[in-house]
Homo-oligomer: A and B are copies of this chain.
Amino acid sequence: MVQYGESFIAKGIDFMAKTWITEEFDTPAVLIHRGRLQKNIEKMAEFAQMHGLALRPHIKTHKMIEIAHMQLEAGAIGITTAKIGEAEVMAAHGVRNILIAYPILGEEKLSRLAQLKTVAAVTTVIDGVAQAEALSRYALAHELQFQVLIEVDTGLKRCGVLPGQDTLSLFHQVSGLPGVEVVGIMTHAGHAYGAATPEEVVRIARQEGFDMVENAGLLRSEGLTLHQVSVGATPTVRHSGQITGVTEIRPGNYVFNDLTQIRLGVATEEQCSLRVAARIVSHPAVDRLVMDAGAKTLALDQGAHGTKGVAGFGQVLGHPELTITRLSEEHGVIQVAGPTELRVGDIIEIIPNHSCPIVNLADQVIVVDDNGKKEVWKVAARGRTS
């Protein structure tokens, strides 16, 4: 028998493992604890309300219609997506306010963006003149007006213009372009995932917030009416969101959390609402077990943006003697340090390193509540990379 610890969530998981298996939904599988999910959603909504912030959660973590609507019902003003494809799925299911936090380029995508704007308020992102010019050309040809945020790089070094003179210069270059209206600025301080300590997370978050507020002040001094000063990443949002002048937060991962959030001191085990269930399929050596969840289920993420010092590919609940040391596509190799009661055929539950890619690998998840009710939710925007 699988042994679990004595915490509330461990009992919840034990319960989940006992009830969900059917021929149709066998291991490996992604399980969601509905009560925990709801609690995570409400807690973030309360934080946003308390600080007068617009909450625009990034749905890349869950990609599910049901969860997007739970977030909106809890008070979110709209959603964030990474790609148009995700926005299309959400708009088709009633979401009417969407930030596509991505530059939109190419006639094909501009045409889809124009179509999307007929059913939802849609904002996109620029960090250079070329993207704004592409939008402007399309807008002129089709008598449209595009609303954009300028993406600012507050340290992630991915997309984004630097705060200060570079932002100002970009604003001046694009402000005369017909059909393109800059309505705000946004940033994603994802480098917080590479922080070595919880204190460093706080430092990065404050930098994120203050950089953005100063940057907004600079743009306002040049005459821009800024509606959105938008920050966000689950680890930083509780700190950057408290800085006066920030208007919007865009956390994503908080609905599920994961080992990365636990390691950063951002979430507790009890706040992790997503689990992977797997079965021990082989015990070929005393110190080695093999399970049926490999990289096709757990993904190879060991964190994000430079997360350091992670051993393994997830934590097996209730089994401190186990380390998931290697993943091939369909096999998870587990190193056993010391005695284990696990046997071939037993089911284990895992808190993954990073919950987002796990959902993207799955066509559906199994949602269980404390009353034993089970639902299957489709990952409706799965794989919408375009």
Interface residues of A (CB under 8 A from B): 21-23, 25-29, 60, 82-83, 102-103, 105-106, 108-109, 111-112, 127-128, 130-131, 134, 153, 157-161, 190, 279, 281-285, 288, 290, 292-297, 299-301, 304-305, 326, 328-331, 333, 343-345, 356-357, 360-363, 383, 385-386
Contacts and interface: CB of A to CB of B under 8 A. Distances in A.
5 contacts: A105-B344, A130-B345, A131-B344, A157-B285, A293-B385
Contacts of A131: 281-282, 344
A336 to B, nearest CB: 13
Given A25-B386, A127-B284, 5 more contacts: A28-B386, A300-B300, A300-B301, A330-B385, A363-B383
A29 B21 CA distance: 35
Given A26-B108, A383-B296, A134 B331 contact: no
B331 A158 contact: yes
Contact of A160 (B22, B284, B293, B360): B284
A381 to B, nearest CB: 11
Given A111-B23, A345-B130, A105 B300 contact: no
8 tightest CB-CB pairs across the interface, nearest first? A130-B344, A82-B330, A300-B300, A23-B108, A159-B282, A26-B108, A103-B281, A26-B386
A108 B22 contact: yes
Given A158-B328, A305-B328, A357-B295, A27 B284 contact: no
A295 B60 CA distance: 13
A343 B22 contact: no
A299 B328 CA distance: 13
A345 B106 contact: yes
A174 to B, nearest CB: 13
B153 A284 contact: yes
B105 A345 contact: yes
Given A23-B112, A282-B127, A290-B158, A328 B300 contact: no
B284 A21 contact: no
A25 B328 CA distance: 30
Given A82-B330, A329-B82, A330-B60, A284 B103 contact: no
A307 B297 CA distance: 21
Contacts of A103: 281-282, 344
Contacts of A294: 385
A82 B112 CA distance: 38
A5 B168 CA distance: 40
A300 B297 contact: no
